[in-house]
Amino acid sequence: MTVAEDLMRCKTHGEMLKIVEPKGRALLREWKQKLLEEALDHLVEEYYGPRWQKRRHHAPTPWICLECGPRDSSQVKRNSHYRRQLVVLEGVITLRIPQLRCRHCGKAVALAALFLTYRKRYWIDLDREITKLYISGVSYRQVKAMIERQIESDAGLMSLWRRFQARANGASYPGLKEKLKVLYLDEAYIKIKGAPFWSLLALGEGHSGKRAYLGAVQSPDRSETAWV
């Protein structure tokens, strides 16, 4: 029985959504996985050409060996693939990543790209969703619950903290450039290497309704001194 046939037999909007939403999420996960894998393969081929083609000319590459420094196309070789998990807005996908090795020292060379940062767990669509929710006034714990429902997986408070800090520092503008009407303060209890800490964050809202990220710190307490 096809999805369309299942949809025809639904008697309520709720039944329809239970069919459409999981299928749509699965299709988007599959599409994003294929898109990223194809983009990574094209990135490698840009400097090496297709696997069957022997490259005669050496060209500079964006790849850097941590032991030997910047590498050109003659100093790095393909070394099969490895698998890596990435969390996107629709859930967790597993990517097949081209693996590169330095010909001089034999160590792995990170294949980083703007569309897939090295060792980054959350993809850009999820980063933006986290920032949008928090800037709109949703607390860390509420963001955590909403994101976990969205990705159908666990999202730690510390991971959300780091992601929000990275996104907000890059996206926020300096201050509100107008008088402050409302100050939003939020806090979340976390542990860093077993020690208790508090994540303290401030958002400001001006008379125009515009909000801005004002700053955040990690403190061993949540006293007035820590906030000031």
pLDDT, tens digit, 9 for 90 and up, residues 97-106? 999 999 999 9
Give yes or no for residue 62 having a pLDDT over 70. Answer: yes
Residue 114 falls inside a structural domain: no
Give yes or no for residue 42 having a pLDDT over 60. Answer: yes
- Determine which of 49-53, 85-89, 202-206 has the lowest per-residue pLDDT on average: 49-53
Residue 86 falls inside a structural domain: yes
Judgement on whether residues 139 and 102 belong to the same structural domain of the protein? no
Give yes or no for residue 56 having a pLDDT over 60. Answer: no
Sign of the alpha-carbon dihedral angle for 36, 42, 48, 52: positive
Residue with tokens 């429902």: 149
Judgement on whether residues 99 and 142 belong to the same structural domain of the protein? no
Judgement on whether residues 131 and 55 belong to the same structural domain of the protein? no
Residue with tokens 């030997």: 68
Pick from 109, 144, 167: which residue ends a domain? 109
Judgement on whether residues 20 and 96 belong to the same structural domain of the protein? yes
Judgement on whether residues 43 and 138 belong to the same structural domain of the protein? no
User: Rounded to an integer, what distance in angstroms lies between the CA atom of residue 140 and that of residue 142?
Assistant: 5
Confidence band for 22, pLDDT divided at 50, 70 and 90: confident
The total of structural domains in the chain comes to: 2
- Which of 121, 171, 129, 168 minimizes the C-alpha distance to 150? 129
Judgement on whether residues 130 and 196 belong to the same structural domain of the protein? yes
The proportion of the chain whose per-residue pLDDT surpasses 70, expressed as a percent, equals 85
> Which of the given ranges, 11-25, 28-42, 181-195, has the highest pLDDT on average?
28-42
Residue 207 falls inside a structural domain: yes
Confidence band for 94, pLDDT divided at 50, 70 and 90: very high
Average pLDDT, the chain: 80
Residue type, 64: I
pLDDT average, residue stretch 16-21? 82
Residue 62 falls inside a structural domain: yes
Judgement on whether residues 7 and 105 belong to the same structural domain of the protein? yes
Judgement on whether residues 100 and 30 belong to the same structural domain of the protein? yes
Are the CB atoms for 200 and 219 separated by under 8 Å? yes
Note the pLDDT tens digit of each residue in 109-123.
988 788 888 878 888
Q: At what angle do helices 140-151 and 124-135 cross, to 10 degrees?
A: 150
Pick from 50, 84, 109: which residue ends a domain? 109
Tell me the residue range of the domain where 216 lies. 124-227
Residue 163 falls inside a structural domain: yes
User: Rounded to an integer, what distance in angstroms lies between the CA atom of residue 50 and that of residue 53?
Assistant: 5
- Which of 170, 171, 177, 222 minimizes the C-alpha distance to 201? 222
Judgement on whether residues 91 and 139 belong to the same structural domain of the protein? no
Looking at residue 172, what is its pLDDT? 44
Give yes or no for residue 15 having a pLDDT over 70. Answer: yes
Looking at residue 54, what is its pLDDT? 64
Report pTM: 0.67
Burial class (CB in 10 A: 0-12, 13-18, 19+), 65: buried
Residue 220 falls inside a structural domain: yes
Residue 115 falls inside a structural domain: no
Pick from 77, 109, 141: which residue ends a domain? 109
Judgement on whether residues 93 and 138 belong to the same structural domain of the protein? no
C-beta atoms surrounding 161 within 10 Å: 19
Judgement on whether residues 129 and 93 belong to the same structural domain of the protein? no
The proportion of the chain whose per-residue pLDDT surpasses 90, expressed as a percent, equals 17
Looking at residue 29, what is its pLDDT? 93
User: Rounded to an integer, what distance in angstroms lies between the CA atom of residue 44 and that of residue 56?
Assistant: 16
Judgement on whether residues 100 and 144 belong to the same structural domain of the protein? no
Residue 117 falls inside a structural domain: no
> Which of the given ranges, 31-40, 149-158, 187-196, has the highest pLDDT on average?
31-40
pLDDT average, residue stretch 79-96? 91
